[in-house]
Amino acid sequence: MAFSPIPTAKSFGSDFLWGVVTAAAQNEGAVYTDGRTPSVWDTFAKRTGKIKGSAKPTHACDFYHRYKEDLLMVKALGFKVFRFSLSWSRILPDGTGRINKEGIRFYNEVIDECLKLDLIPFVTLYHWDLPQSLEKEGGWTSYKILNWFTRFTTVCAEAFGDRVKNWIILNEPMAFTSLGYMLGKHAPGKMGMKNFLPAVHHAVLAQADGGRIIRSLVKGANIGTSFSCSEINPYTDKTEDVKAAHRMDILMNRLFIEPSLGKGYPRDDFKFLEQLEITNKAWKYTERMRFDFDFIGLQNYFPLTIKHNSIVPVIQASEIKAATRKVPHTAMGWEVNGESFYRIIRRFWKYGSVKQIIVTENGAAYKDELKSSRVHDVQRIEYFKEHLVALYKAKHKGINIGGYFAWTLMDNFEWAEGYKARFGLVHVDHETQLRTIKDSGYWFRDFLNT
């Protein structure tokens, strides 16, 4: 992108929320401690071949035992918000029914520690770690998930709602339904449309039901839900590539937000949408799918370039990788493109009925090297700078952006990529649990303090 001067943190306004994010399954570890039962990720990780390096989330960053020192780091880096998620199977070991007091105690301690340090706790209710006991009964493919999710949300609201006012209902429903229930690449490893179609619909309903529950139980709550989003560009201007990009755009960017805005599912010319509508009798649910969120969480990492590919089922489209196109990319192969970040934010704002946008995740993985207790992660710093320039532009074009949260505090269990993909501002040696603040962490500290 054309380079502009890096804005200062202050120029975003004094009430702008600067935060850093973690997620339970990726950070806590202690998966068999104090009454917690396995989540789908613990079970999935036991299957060989599904996760790089046969990695498991069993110990992760041991945040469960080290949260005090980790929160001190959040504070030292200058962030105001700490976003984290709640492990469902730590709170409700059977998925529903009985409450595990130890689970509640743990999150009470984390919340209280945040407040003591003057950090704002932003809680994600669901960041992909469904209790395995519920998966056995169908997980997100079952309509029963709505009762289970109601129970979980209610317990959390009642336990933490006196101190937690900021709630994110679901983290990236498109990611966990497509990777986990269509492509089998993430837990629980299910595949095919017969799983994907109901999983999408139940996630759409859960995100709205969850919002209503928090609204009714938590006084003064600020409620959002987080969507993954990516600008989609056709590889060529041939009609078939343009149409393929359009189909991808519906899946990646529109499927979950439009029903929440009361528009129902998108109804464009794409057979999949018809199947989604019919399988779920979706026309009956337009009202229930809607919820008046206080903010929409946007999570953006990269844009995608798409071409027609008749071999790929349903979507008939595939990605032309950034490396093939010789454009800048991260260690994940994801294109780095700050302008596309600006454009995708603008695009969501154009719906007109989104009250506020918070960027609830943005960040990059690089092949970091720890040498003499330092990690000189120059590329990650450049990534953040480029995206903050774009964010500033969006804010100053009049888009109501309330905050920006960096993904992620420290190198953690990166799902199917295991521990090899490092996204943290803090380097973690997963053998010794030694934390080392990377140059990008120090860069953020200086950025936030000037």
CB 319 within 8 A of CB 257: no
Known active-site residue 339:
no
Which listed residue (9, 17, 23, 399) binds ligand BGC by CB under 6 A? 23
Between 213 and 421, CB nearer to ligand BGC: 421
Distance CA 275, CA 255 (A): 13
The active-site residue out of 28, 135, 172, 258 is 172
**How many whole angstroms separate alpha carbon 210 and alpha carbon 158?**
13
What is the C-alpha to C-alpha distance for residues 168 and 122, in angstroms, rounded to an integer?
7
Amino acid identity at 231: E
* Complex with ligand BGC: residue 27 or 153, whichever CB lies closer: 27
Binding of ligand BGC by 171 (CB under 6 A):
yes
Residues 206, 177: Cα–Cα separation, whole Å? 13
Query: In sequence order, which residues have a C-beta less than 8 Å from that of residue 272 and are 6 or more positions away?
Result: 193, 247, 251, 314, 315
Q: Is 173 helix (H, G, I), strand (E, B) or coil?
A: helix
Range in contact with ligand BGC (rule: CB under 6 A) among 34-42, 145-153, 167-175, 182-190: 167-175
Clarify whether 172 is annotated catalytic. yes
| Catalytic site residue from 113, 135, 335, 361 | 361
Q: How far is the CB of 107 from ligand BGC (least distance, A)?
A: 19
Write phi, then psi, for 279 (nearest 5 degrees).
-55, -40
Q: Which stretch binds ligand BGC (CB under 6 A): 35-43, 170-178, 287-295, 432-440?
A: 170-178
Only one of the segments 168-176, 314-322, 348-356, 424-432 lies at the binding site for ligand BGC (rule: CB under 6 A); that segment is: 168-176
Region 104-163 residues binding ligand BGC, contact defined as CB under 6 A: none
**Residue 201 DSSP code:** H
Report how far residue 236's alpha carbon sits from residue 242's, in angstroms, rounded to the nearest whole number.
Answer: 7
CB-based burial label for 442 (10 Å; 0-12, 13-18, 19+)? middle
Among positions 196, 235, 407, 443, the unique one binding ligand BGC when judged by CB under 6 A: 407
> Smallest distance, Å, CB 243 to ligand BGC?
26
Instruction: Give the side-chain half-sphere CA count within 13 A for 275.
Output: 13
CA 156, 195, 133, 361 torsion: positive or negative?
negative
414 is an interface residue for ligand BGC by CB under 6 A: yes
In the bound state with ligand BGC, the residue whose beta carbon lies nearer, of 79 and 270, is 79
- Residues 293-322 binding ligand BGC (CB under 6 A) are 299
Cβ contact 391:410 at 8 Å: no
* Shortest Å, Cβ 363 to ligand BGC: 7
Longest CA span, the chain:
61
Nearest distance from C-beta of residue 175 to ligand BGC, angstroms:
5
Q: Is 175 in the site for ligand BGC (CB under 6 A)?
A: yes
By CB under 6 A, residue 411 contacts ligand BGC: no
Query: Three-state DSSP class for 237?
Result: coil
Residue 361 as a binder of ligand BGC (CB under 6 A): the answer is yes
Min CB(398)–ligand BGC separation in Å: 28
- Pick 135 or 414: Cβ nearer ligand BGC: 414
Q: How far is the CB of 76 from ligand BGC (least distance, A)?
A: 23
Whats the size of the chain, residue-wise?
450
User: In Å, how far from its chain's centre is CA 406?
Assistant: 11
Question: Which residues are near ligand BGC by CB under 6 A?
Answer: 23, 26, 171-172, 175, 228, 299, 361, 407, 414, 423
Positions annotated as catalytic residues are: 172, 361
